[in-house]
């Protein structure tokens, strides 16, 4: 998600092709033309809304949840981004936009916008504008044959008994072939070295080793909370909605969570640090005040322990510090 947001920001925001307050009128027209008129009870009508760029980045645009409805409703995995948006237009919104937060396909919609505004496929855009300039040579939407020996298998809990079972065999992985849908919300594979290089670029104000990806002012936007009236995810998420953040004191920035109240998180940290986690229990965070970044890689999908692991990791990292720059 963070990489997609940076991809969006590196050209779209930096080159003033769009700003965070723009209503995405072309996308709005596409999503509202022929859209079902039914809506969820008590959540208002789902037609005629203004879709703003910041609403997509902050996950308050009311699109459906990527973790549930999307696969069963429109079979997105077998389509491209254009087809995804076409089919998304046929699904009722989850709520009146801006009134709640959900972890949705809004980030994938941003990938579609990148394609439209840049004239390039999303994966090609990321490769030429982000991965190659940063030297992220092992980051892509798939793993070519010459790299499969270094690709790890993914596991999942057994279920009713302790232990793990194979979820994705690295030698016969679904990532062994280029996908039709290049999902910015959760489709990239990478290495700890590559992702750390990405985080170092962010913590260095948008540049690394003489390569400028973002302006320092654009990077600073990631430390801000874009939820309406400065609210928190815990206040806006509807009951039962999936989130990679399980505690209070957290808002939502440009495609990632952001610390807005250290005391309420009940964890060591800094205001403005931003973070998120991956489906396989991976995690990262960037603390600009402490000039600190952490990348945590693992490969267990669907683990109920992932949030506990991340909280423990934060406690261990900050407890090991002998000085503070905040």
pTM assigned to the model:
0.85
Q: Cβ atoms within 10 A of the Cβ of 30, count? A: 17
pLDDT at 261: 96
Q: Own/partner pairs for 164-172, CB < 8 Å, 24+ apart? A: 164/300, 167/301, 167/302, 168/301
- Would you list the domain boundaries of the chain? 2-124, 140-319
pLDDT tier, 295 (very low <50, low <70, confident <90, very high otherwise):
very high
Is 246 a residue whose pLDDT tops 80? no
Pick the CATH number of 140-319 from 3.20.20.140, 3.40.640.10, 3.40.710.10, 3.40.50.300: 3.40.710.10
Given a contact cutoff of 8 angstroms between Cβ atoms, the answer to whether 157 and 306 are in contact is: no
Is 93 a residue whose pLDDT tops 70? yes
Is 209 a residue whose pLDDT tops 90? yes
Given a contact cutoff of 8 angstroms between Cβ atoms, the answer to whether 325 and 289 are in contact is: yes
d(CA 282, CA 1) in angstroms, rounded, equals 12
Q: Cβ atoms within 10 A of the Cβ of 4, count? A: 26
pLDDT at 324: 94
Write the burial class of residue 298 (CB in 10 Å: 0-12 exposed, 13-18 middle, 19+ buried): middle
pLDDT tier, 187 (very low <50, low <70, confident <90, very high otherwise):
confident
Provide the token pair at 50. Answer: 């203004």
pLDDT at 156: 95
Note the pLDDT tens digit of each residue in 227-244: 888 999 988 887 766 666
pLDDT tier, 40 (very low <50, low <70, confident <90, very high otherwise):
very low
């Amino acid at each position: 998600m963070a990489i997609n947001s940076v991809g969006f920001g590196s050209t779209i925001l930096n080159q003033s092709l769009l700003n965070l307050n723009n209503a995405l009128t072309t996308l709005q027209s596409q999503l509202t033309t022929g859209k079902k008129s039914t809506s969820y009870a008590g959540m208002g009508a789902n037609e005629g809304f203004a879709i703003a760029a910041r609403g997509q980045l902050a996950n308050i645009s009311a699109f459906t949840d990527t973790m549930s409805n999307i696969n069963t409703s429109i079979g997105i995995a077998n389509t491209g981004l254009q087809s995804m948006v076409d089919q998304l237009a046929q699904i009722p919104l989850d709520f009146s936009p801006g009134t709640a937060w959900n972890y949705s396909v809004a980030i994938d919609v941003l990938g579609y916008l990148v394609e439209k505004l840049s004239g390039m496929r999303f994966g090609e855009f990321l490769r030429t504008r982000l991965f190659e300039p940063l030297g992220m040579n092992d980051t892509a939407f798939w793993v070519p044959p010459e790299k499969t020996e270094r690709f790890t298998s993914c596991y999942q809990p057994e279920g009713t008994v302790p232990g793990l079972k194979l979820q994705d065999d690295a030698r016969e992985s679904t990532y062994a072939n280029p996908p039709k849908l290049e999902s910015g919300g959760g489709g990239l594979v990478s290495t700890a070295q590559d992702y750390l290089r990405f985080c170092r670029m962010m913590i260095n104000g948008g540049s690394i080793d003489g390569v400028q990806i973002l302006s320092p002012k654009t990077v600073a936007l990631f430390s801000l909370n874009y939820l309406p009236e400065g609210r928190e995810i815990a206040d806006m998420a509807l009951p039962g909605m999936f989130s990679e953040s399980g505690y209070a004191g957290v808002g939502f920035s440009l495609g990632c969570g952001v610390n807005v109240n250290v005391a309420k998180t009940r964890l060591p940290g800094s205001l403005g640090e931003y973070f998120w986690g991956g489906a396989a229990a991976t995690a990262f965070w960037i603390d600009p005040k402490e000039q600190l970044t952490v990348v945590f890689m693992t490969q267990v999908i669907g683990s109920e322990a992932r949030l506990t692991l991340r909280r423990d990791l934060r406690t261990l990292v900050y407890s090991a510090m002998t000085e503070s720059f905040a």
